[in-house]
Amino acid sequence: MPLGTSPCKSAILQEQILAMHSSDAVGLMGIYKTLKGNLLHVESEAEKGQIEVDIDIQKVAPKFNGTIQKNQSRYERKRQLYDAAQGIIRKLPS
């Protein structure tokens, strides 16, 4: 999927990443022949949106390719910590 510098393409890509992450299926998306800045922008937008994905950036002269893959493990760890904290809070005297 070639990615231009247009903000509307970035918004569309962010929606696609969110949809990929929201589904139960293992998600994998490729971005090909783009500038490194575009991939770094996608990475920062995913972090801002707290979307759990791993982004792998590879140089393929003269441009870059990127692979975005759903990462559920970080969410699962946060969820376990949250559940443990809630259990501790329930045990505290009122």
- The proportion of the chain whose per-residue pLDDT surpasses 90, expressed as a percent, equals 9
- Report the number of distinct structural domains present in the chain: 1
Interatomic CA distance for residues 18 and 67, integer angstroms: 15
**Is 1 inside a domain boundary?**
no
Predicted confidence (pLDDT) at residue 58 exceeds the cutoff of 80: yes
Structure tokens at 62: 């003269």
Tell if the pTM clears 0.95, that is, is over it: no
**Is 66 inside a domain boundary?**
yes
- pLDDT-derived band at 19 (thresholds 50, 70, 90) equals low
User: For position 2, what pLDDT does the model report?
Assistant: 44
Q: Are 66 and 58 in contact (CB under 8 A)?
A: yes
- pLDDT-derived band at 3 (thresholds 50, 70, 90) equals very low
* Sheet bearing 63-70, strands edge to edge: 28-34, 63-70, 53-60
| SS3 (DSSP) at 31 | strand
User: For position 10, what pLDDT does the model report?
Assistant: 62
Which domain covers residue 17, as residue numbers? Answer: 7-91
**Is 2 inside a domain boundary?**
no
Is the Cα dihedral 50, 51, 56, 57 positive or negative?
negative
What does the pLDDT average to over 4-32?
A: 62
